[in-house]
């Protein structure tokens, strides 16, 4: 390289450095400097400098809302960076393209490019760039209604900014966090955050960034009804944005200023402010700002009783909004499981009702239903399994201590508790049935004995209603079949319980009839017939739908979740059969189906293991429910195991540093520190129990549905804990 070329190379570096440092105070000058750097770089034919110059120029055009030029320069920069293998340069360009996309409401493409740039920045441990990308990703999540992921991304942005002590980036992230907390109806916390963000901007002298922070504070004042303070902030933000030609910021501020005047009943001022914002958003094709402006104009004209004008703007709003939703919702939902609903503007549902048109209703309903189902399953899992754990453990302990009639009572209690566990498990596995991922687990079972036990479970409740409950069974009492006892019990228990529930007088008949047999298989018709209130033909079509109730909640006498018959239907279909219904109002109903069952030579009886293998072993038990801890310790002591108990994850970590254990049993839901975070700390190399087998014990089946949890633990043991499974898990690691 000649001396002249070296000087020109250095000149490019100086130009780009000055352009970048001056972007917050004089953006137009930064564009001039970057153009000059690009010209010199092309003269030098230096691909690296050409790419960097193009990338900076793209950034400045994006800030200036010239998105077309910005994208062209970024795409060209990527070509140069890829030619020389500069991944960091590619990451910078993809960040800019991603930001352009989300600022022009193309969230799907924005997310793709930003995620890719974040991956590359992590590769280089570039925390400063990670911070700005995480903030942009958080903004996309927030736009599409996923507040949880938005909050997480903003927190990552703050954390990374602090690693490199970049106050501007930290302020930007706190600004966005403040807005998110405002949406969560926490204005006091939001105000503290925005005050901190403004303080940082004043420290760094970032005037352009200060305008966004002042705008953020104005939103809080608006929420609190402090219209004068809000007006002052939005006017200040507009002045700064106009000075720096920050079009998006100016549009946002004009819209919010219009909202202030609208809320303060100053409709003429509101109209003027919003029209200024619309003029800018139309000129620069800023769609989201346009949509919000149309919505506000509709409200202003409606407030003035100018119905024709109001109708015009609501039509414009819905036309633009539908275009965005049609384009974005499908792309985002099909490519990412990020959102539970598309809710960019809070009043969409109301306005769509005015037009009697719901956008993408099927997709939204499906996502909402999935969320409701998951929340239901998670709560049910934890709330029901936890007390069941105590019941089943006590039964197991007493089983070895009682004889005679008491032994018989314990056996009945054991069957009842096992049956309840099976019901809970089937409800929790409803999603498996729904996705056809469940299968039958066949074992040799005496159907005569099973049906008798099931009948006995319901005799008392039938007796309390003065109902006759009878079993008519022509199956030979010594005949066994290969069947899934758990799932068949669930079917029969649901049907019998329903029959009793909806019958106030008369009888319920449980019938098993052998209708066809050959050397290998028997075909059996099973029916439950009652003399209850009956079901209309219309309601018969509804009763097998999940969460369905054929009477309003406020008027029906009977309880229930509405899941019973939905599960019955799917379980019977799993047996390659179909549930049938005959019913007459005020005469009763009959539910029936047929099963083709393979004969078996005899019932498989599992011998109880001899618990000797764990003698003199030590266990650290982390469990915050004292009753569960006492019972688990009791079981372990029978096997010769010494147990040390702590009530939270923090104490478990402390204990693990002091002593080496043979096993650790870790509950997942605990105060102070949960079981997952505690296990992460125990697995660190400097801990005495890094390699100790750790078993998760939990009542929440939804908690462990991720690969990281499965990797942390040697095994997951569900509450209520099955004694033999606990022993087998520990013995396997001996």
Reduced 3-state DSSP string for 359-386: CCHHHHHHHHHHHHHHHHHHHHHHHHHH
**Would you tell me how many other CB atoms lie within 10 Å of the CB of residue 369?**
12
Q: What does the pLDDT read at residue 267?
A: 93
pLDDT of 346 strictly over 60 = no
* More confident position, 397 or 292: 292
Dihedral sign of CA atoms 20, 21, 25, 29 in order: negative
Q: What does the pLDDT read at residue 715?
A: 87
pLDDT of 314 strictly over 50 = yes
Q: What does the pLDDT read at residue 1?
A: 55
Supply 521's token pair: 């298989």
Q: How confident is the model at residue 552 (pLDDT cuts 50, 70, 90)?
A: very low
Read off the pTM. 0.44
CATH value of 443-600 in 3.30.565.10, 3.30.70.3400, 3.50.50.60, 3.40.50.20: 3.30.565.10
Q: What does the pLDDT read at residue 123?
A: 87
Cα–Cα dist 115/602, whole Å? 59
- For strands 580-584 and 521-530, give the pairing: unpaired
Highest mean pLDDT among 222-231, 277-286, 608-617: 222-231
* CATH code for residues 1-125: 1.25.40.10
Q: Element (H or E) spanning 575, and its range?
A: none
Q: What does the pLDDT read at residue 553?
A: 36
pLDDT of 483 strictly over 80 = yes
- For strands 642-646 and 588-600, give the pairing: unpaired
Q: What does the pLDDT read at residue 338?
A: 36
* More confident position, 258 or 376: 258
Where are the domain boundaries for CATH 3.40.50.2300 in the chain? 364-403+609-734
Cα–Cα dist 696/704, whole Å? 9
pLDDT of 570 strictly over 70 = yes
Average pLDDT value for residue range 557-561: 43
Cα–Cα dist 411/387, whole Å? 19
Average pLDDT value for residue range 148-169: 92
Chain centroid to CA 219:
28
Q: How confident is the model at residue 642 (pLDDT cuts 50, 70, 90)?
A: very high
Average pLDDT value for residue range 611-628: 83
Q: What does the pLDDT read at residue 477?
A: 87
Where are the domain boundaries for CATH 1.25.40.10 in the chain? 1-125
Q: How confident is the model at residue 416 (pLDDT cuts 50, 70, 90)?
A: low
Where are the domain boundaries for CATH 3.30.565.10 in the chain? 443-600
Average pLDDT value for residue range 508-516: 93
How many helical (H) and strand (E) elements, i.e. helices and strands, does the chain have?
Answer: 29, 12
CATH value of 364-403+609-734 in 3.50.4.10, 3.30.450.190, 3.20.20.140, 3.40.50.2300: 3.40.50.2300
Backbone angles phi, psi at 627, to 5 degrees: -60, -45
Mean per-residue pLDDT over the chain, rounded = 81
Q: How confident is the model at residue 174 (pLDDT cuts 50, 70, 90)?
A: very high
* More confident position, 173 or 416: 173
Residues 6+ apart with CB under 8 A from 313: 294, 295, 297, 298, 301
8 A C-beta contact, residue 157 and residue 173? yes
The residue among 114, 168, 159, 116 whose CA lies nearest residue 139 is 114
SS3 393: helix
Cα–Cα dist 68/284, whole Å? 10
Least confident of 19-33, 130-144, 392-406: 392-406
């Amino acid at each position: 390289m000649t001396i002249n070329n070296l000087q020109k190379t250095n000149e490019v570096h100086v130009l780009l450095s000055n352009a970048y440092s001056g972007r917050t105070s004089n953006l137009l000058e930064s564009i001039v400097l970057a153009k000059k750097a690009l010209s010199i770089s092309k003269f030098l034919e230096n691909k690296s400098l050409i790419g960097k110059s193009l990338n900076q120029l793209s950034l400045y055009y994006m800030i200036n809302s010239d998105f077309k030029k910005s994208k062209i320069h970024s795409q060209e920069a990527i070509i140069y960076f890829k030619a020389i293998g500069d991944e960091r340069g590619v990451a910078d360009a993809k960040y800019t393209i991603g930001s352009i996309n989300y600022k022009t409401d193309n969230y799907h493409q924005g997310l793709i490019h930003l995620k890719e740039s974040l991956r590359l920045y992590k590769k280089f441990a570039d925390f400063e760039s990670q911070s700005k990308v995480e903030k942009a990703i958080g903004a996309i999540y927030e736009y599409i209604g996923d507040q949880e992921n938005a909050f997480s991304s903003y927190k990552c942005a703050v954390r990374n900014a602090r690693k490199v002590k970049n106050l501007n980036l930290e302020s930007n992230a706190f600004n966005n966090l403040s807005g998110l907390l405002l949406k969560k109806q926490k204005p006091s916390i939001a105000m503290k955050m925005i005050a901190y963000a403004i303080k940082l901007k004043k420290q760094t002298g970032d005037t352009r960034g200060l305008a966004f922070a002042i705008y953020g504070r104005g939103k809080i004042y608006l929420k609190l009804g402090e219209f004068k303070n809000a007006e002052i902030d939005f006017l200040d933000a507009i002045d700064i944005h106009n000075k720096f030609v920050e079009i998006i910021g100016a549009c946002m501020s004009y819209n919010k200023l219009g909202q202030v005047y609208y809320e303060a009943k100053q409709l003429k001022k509101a109209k003027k402010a919003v029209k200024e914002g619309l003029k800018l958003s139309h000129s620069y094709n800023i769609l989201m700002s346009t949509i919000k402006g149309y919505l506000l104009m509709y409200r202003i004209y409606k407030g003035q009783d100018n119905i024709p004008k109001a109708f015009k703007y609501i039509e414009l709003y819905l036309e633009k909004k539908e275009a965005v939703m049609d384009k974005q919702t499908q792309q985002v939902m099909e490519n990412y499981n990020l959102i539970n609903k598309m809710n960019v503007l809070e009043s969409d549902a109301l306005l769509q009702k005015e037009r009697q048109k719901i956008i993408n209703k099927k997709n939204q309903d499906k996502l909402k239903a999935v969320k409701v189902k998951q929340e239901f399953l998670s709560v049910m899992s934890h709330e029901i399994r936890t007390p069941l754990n105590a019941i089943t453990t006590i039964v197991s302990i007493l089983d070895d201590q009682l004889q005679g009639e008491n032994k018989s009572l314990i056996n009945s209690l054991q069957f009842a508790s096992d049956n309840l566990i099976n019901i809970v498990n089937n409800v929790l596995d409803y999603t498996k049935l729904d996705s056809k991922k469940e299968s039958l687990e066949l074992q040799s079972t005496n159907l005569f004995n099973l049906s008798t036990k099931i009948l006995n479970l319901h005799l008392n409740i039938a007796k309390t209603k003065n109902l006759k409950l009878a079993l008519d069974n022509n199956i030979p009492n010594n005949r066994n079949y290969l069947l899934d006892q758990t799932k068949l019990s669930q079917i029969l228990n649901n049907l019998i319980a329903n029959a009793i529930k909806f019958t106030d007088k008369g009888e319920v008949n449980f019938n098993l009839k052998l209708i066809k047999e050959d050397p290998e298989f028997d075909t059996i018709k099973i029916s439950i017939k009652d003399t209850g209130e009956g079901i209309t033909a219309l309601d018969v079509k509804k009763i097998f739908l999940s969460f369905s109730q054929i009477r309003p909640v406020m008027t029906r006498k009977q309880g229930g979740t509405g899941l019973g018959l939905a599960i019955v239907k799917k379980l019977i279909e799993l047996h390659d059969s179909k549930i049938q219904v005959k019913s007459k109002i005020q005469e009763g109903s009959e539910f029936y189906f047929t099963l083709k069952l393979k004969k078996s030579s005899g019932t498989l009886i599992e011998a109880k293991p001899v618990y000797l293998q764990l003698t003199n072993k030590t266990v650290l038990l982390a469990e915050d429910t004292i009753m569960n801890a006492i019972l688990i310790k009791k079981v372990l002591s029978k096997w010769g195991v010494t147990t040390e108990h702590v009530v939270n994850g923090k104490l478990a970590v402390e204990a693990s540093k002091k002593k080496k254990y043979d096993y650790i049993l870790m509950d997942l839901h605990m105060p102070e520190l949960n079981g997952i975070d505690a296990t992460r700390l125990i697995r660190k190399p400097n801990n005495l129990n890094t390699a100790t087998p750790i078993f998760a014990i939990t009542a929440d089946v939804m908690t462990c549905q991720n690969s990281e949890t499965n990797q942390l633990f040697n095994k997951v043991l569900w509450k209520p804990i099955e004694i033999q499974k606990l022993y087998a898990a520990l013995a396997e690691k001996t």
